[in-house]
Amino acid sequence: MNKPLRRIAIFCGVLMLALMVRTNYIQYVRADDLNTRDENRRIRIERYAHERGDIIVDGKAVTGSVETDGSDFKYKRVWKDGPLWAPVTGYSSQAFDSSQLESLEDGILTGNDDQLFFNRTLSMFTGDKKQGGNVVTTLNGDAQRAAFKGLGDKKGSVVALDPKSGAILALASTPSYDPSVFAGNSNKDSEARQKLLKDKDKPMLNRALRETYPPGSTFKVVTAAAALENGLYDDIDAKTESPLPWILPQTDRELQNEGNIPCKDASLREALRWSCNTVFGKVSDDLGNQKMIEQTDKFGFNKEVFTP
């Protein structure tokens, strides 16, 4: 082979090698990065090409999927009584991604999680449509509805827990919103979301999980436990040494109760029943800060709590 041909052959070989290196780099090294790019519309089209799995309460789905018109995204998310369940499920939107359970359990709901590998493989041979998996919650539907109804037009939240396991039985937040109104990717969906974001009452704020509140009278349970465990009182039905009125330490200010309730020297049982501020204020002062702090630690205060 003469010299010019040899140079051309070497040059072409280098080009082929560079092409192979580049192709393998894109397919293997940068695959995940390219798949997750916002500009990669094919991934998003595939994401909404099949029905999303449902979120389950009491064995029934509180979510669903419907076909869309005028979009290359075939299915979008819908909710059954969206404002009731939004504080739990969060939203799933073709235009604005997802939040809460819809986000945290997205792999299951889209069917892409490794736990569903067998189902995906089987569907390749059976020809069945790809389907998302369902997410089963610990919620009690009646408790959730009661909490939501009880809040009414107020701003606030209600959370009910199983004291043995910590399972969430109800998680309501008001005012709430319907995630269905911006589940698509149209101008109408964008306008609906902007309206919610501009609402001064902040309906999209999950007051159960994204706000901090003083514990209020629920803390009296901790105070009562501290009194018993530290021997301040050993009988929940024995009278406490709780005068009425009771003056807050280092002040001349009376600690008030809610109305004319029987709190003078009330037992721990009665004080809990009537929610006597004076009794538990004095109990806390008699025990001192250190013993109260030790008791709160036993109840799980000052520890991280991981809630979906």
- Tokens read off for 43: 């991934």
- 63 residue type, one letter: T
Spatial separation of the C-alpha atoms in residues 114 and 12, rounded to whole Å: 42
46 φ, ψ (degrees, to nearest 5): -65, -35
Task: Note whether 254 and 232 are within 8 A (CB).
Answer: no
Task: Determine whether 14 is exposed, middle or buried from the number of CB atoms within 10 Å of its CB (0-12, 13-18, 19+).
Answer: exposed
Spatial separation of the C-alpha atoms in residues 18 and 29, rounded to whole Å: 15
Strand 55-57 relative to strand 60-61, pairing: antiparallel
Write out the DSSP string of 207-257: TTTS-----GGGGHHHHHHHHHHTTS-S-TTSPP---SS-BPTTSSPBPPP
**Exactly one of 217, 242, 275, 284 is catalytic; which is it?**
217
Is 284 known to be catalytic?
no
The residues carrying an active-site annotation are 217
